[in-house]
Amino acid sequence: MDKRRVTGPSFASSVDKDDPWANAVLQDTSPAVTDLDPAVPPALQDDKTLPVVVYALTLGGLITGGVTSVIAVILAYVSRKGAPDWLQSHYVFAIRTFWLSLLFALAGGLLSVIGIGFVILAAVGVWLAVRCIIGLSYLLKGQAYPTPQNWML
């Protein structure tokens, strides 16, 4: 009986220098990214989690009477500086949304004495929800908000 040892193929073999496919696989063809901030770890460069939290807290302000919106605007102010440009547009949009909704809510609160304030407060709530939902849709698509300084949308 023949007792030769049978071995499988070796996957640790050297690469054939004449094989164009092997050489193409070994070369790094990824585009160079030069606009990344070296102080921020690469995993956080395009992290959408915090802007989603900011939008969610802003929406939660409709239920909590604005308490979570204050937390959201603080997070947006703190996170804006180290974020890439496309995420900065979302932070600017959230900050602008907070201050405008506060202004309109104060006006609606003052005008509630004559009755029209309740209509204004309801309109501010709808306006805030629509802004947050549209901002979230741009964020989840990985796009910058096109006009973060606008009053309407």
Please count the structural domains in the chain. 1
Has residue 109 been placed in a domain? yes
Residue 21 has pLDDT above 60, yes or no: no
Q: What is the pTM of this model?
A: 0.69
- Asked, for residue 152, whether it belongs to a domain, the answer is no
pLDDT digits (tens, 9 = 90+) for 36-95: 556 555 545 568 999 999 999 999 999 999 999 999 999 999 999 989 999 999 999 999
User: Are 45 and 84 within 8 A, CB to CB?
Assistant: yes
| Distance of alpha carbon 16 from alpha carbon 99, whole angstroms | 64
Domain that holds residue 129: 43-140
pLDDT digits (tens, 9 = 90+) for 84-133: 999 999 999 999 999 999 999 999 999 999 999 999 999 999 999 999 99
Token duo for residue 138? 């741009």
Query: What pLDDT score was predicted for residue 149?
Result: 87
Q: In this prediction, what percent of the chain has a pLDDT beyond 90?
A: 64
Q: Which residue has the higher pLDDT, 55 or 10?
A: 55
Question: Is position 71 within any domain?
Answer: yes
pLDDT given for residue 52 in this prediction: 96
Closest C-alpha to 96, from 60, 36, 54, 45: 54
Question: Is 59 contained in some domain?
Answer: yes
Q: Amino acid identity of 16?
A: D
Residue 68 lies in a domain: yes
